[in-house]
Amino acid sequence: MSPAHSRATVEVTPGGAVRGRVRPPGSKSLTNRALICAAFARGRSELRGALDSEDTRVMIAALREVGFDIKTSGSHRHLKVGGAMGRHAPAGEQALFIANSGTSVRFLAAALAAFGGRYRLHGVERMHARPIADLVDAIAPHLQGTIRALSPHGCPPVEIDSRGYREPGASMAIELSVAGNVSSQYLSGLMMSGPIQATQANESAPRSLRVAVDGDLVSLPYVEMTAAVMRDFGVSVSIDATQPSGHLVSICGAYRGCQYAIEPDASAASYFWAAAAITGGQVTVAGLNRRSLQGDVRFVDVLEKMGCKVEWSDEGITVSGRAERGIDVDMNSISDTVQTLSVVALFASQPTRVRGVAHNRFKETDRIGDLARELRRLGATVDEHEDGLTIHPLPEARLDSEREPTKIQTYHDHRMAMSLALAGLRMRGVLITDPSCTGKTYPNYWYDLETLIGRSHHWSSSEDRQNFVGAASAGGTS
């Protein structure tokens, strides 16, 4: 990020009801899962509709550094990935920079431990404060070698010196156990690591991997998404939720290269559905439907409870009308949309209580405490709880009054920037700092939002607008 970008601000300008149609870029979650499966598959794969963003470029760069053949075309939306069969770990230690990409560090730590080799996974300062100890502790007892989290409190950098998983016992299954209450990415990483040694072998490997989840499992839809992607790459996956102690996931088989289409990002779609809910408009997000793999499409169910109308079709999902009612909602399974809902809740008629998202404190920023702080800057009353927050609506007089511009801090968190900017659809003077942080998952967000609402944002300078909107316009949307 250039110094000019770090000083930039953007203000989304108020107007009437937002009406239109938009197709967000490909899902980050699906892109990074498919990259792991394709890289460690037998044979070549083609991924179409991939997301081009900081998080996916970090994953691609790391896999290339390890030696995998990944070719990009179509503005990085079409990826050709060579498989891993017969490939050996690189000589010497590989230092892999993973920025602040949680999926990259957690998926790669598990995958590379299973693959074998020496690696050091490191990132930005915030990444070195994000927990990974539960994943490391799940892998370490079963590894031929070592894996360690080097920062205090079990955070990256992660150091790996491995010859793969130990041979399983008489049951021919590697048995792992992981806590489920901090991040579903731990379980997803372990799941995707299971087929790697089987894929590398020239003959079918009878071994399998089983992961027992200790306690509650957060964000279950992301685990189900992982299973669905793995199945498309030829692996057998079952999830048993009937165990007394929690979920048990069983994996068997090797990855096979395939043609894989990546659907639009449902977390990104939440911002556009919210634009309709905040303004009483009508917005269709194309490319998502009831068959979508991403749990975050269920954000529209929350908006429906608040008073919006939702229409589903094979081509897209449409939200119309105002979200007028406050609700009490457990968002454990769609926790990446909490910030979006919190902004919608500012314009409802009763308070909204969000529950079940204590793990949001360990994301790119503290998405409970920091979110509450920024909502208060807008004049809202917010009650912070251990597992979520209560958002009280802004008084109508507050919306109509002239107010001094308020700089909203984003903590270099893409979701803080994209969600809190939506308050500007109803309020003047909401200045979003560090707008370039949206590049983590959605580089063209400001252009797509401006196109949808049909009016320009206010930027700190014309140069900034050209940097963030003009470049996207010249190259088309993601």
- Edge to edge, the sheet with strand 430-433 lists 406-408, 430-433, 9-11, 458-459
The three-state DSSP-derived secondary structure of the chain is CCHHHHHCEEECCCCCCCEEEECCCECHHHHHHHHHHHHCCECCEEEECCCCCHHHHHHHHHHHHHCCCEEEECCCCEEEECCCCCCCCCCCEEEEECCCCHHHHHHHHHHHHHHCEEEEEECCCCHHHCCCHHHHHHHHHHEEEEEEEEECCCEEEEEEEEEEECCCCCCCEEEEEEECCCCHHHHHHHHHHCCHHHHHCCCCCCCEEEEEEECCCCCHHHHHHHHHHHHHCCCEEEEECCCCCCCEEEEECCCECCEEECCECHHHHHHHHHHHHHHCCEEEEECCCCCCCCHHHHHHHHHHHCCCEEEECCCEEEEECCCCCCCEEECHHHHHHHHHHHHHHCCCCCCEEEECCHHHHHCCCCCCHHHHHHHHHCCCCEEEECCEEEECCCCHHHHHCCCCCEEECCCCCHHHHHHHHHHHHCCCCEEEECHHHHHHCCCCHHHHHHHHHCCCCEECCHHHHHHHHHHHHHHCCC
Q: 206 pairs with which residues across the strands?
A: none
- Segment 308-314 long-range contacts (CB within 8 Å, at least 24 positions apart): 308/276, 308/277, 313/289, 314/289
Q: 320 pairs with which residues across the strands?
A: 282, 309
Cα(439)–Cα(355) distance, integer angstroms: 29
Choosing from 265, 296, 336, 448, the catalytic residue is 336
259: exposed, middle or buried (Cβ count in 10 Å: 0-12, 13-18, 19+) = exposed
* Closest by CA position to 183, among listed 59, 361, 342: 361
* Closest by CA position to 106, among listed 46, 176, 187, 171: 187
Establish whether 336 is a catalytic residue: yes
Count of other CB atoms within 10 angstroms of residue 408: 23
Which residues have a catalytic role annotated? 336
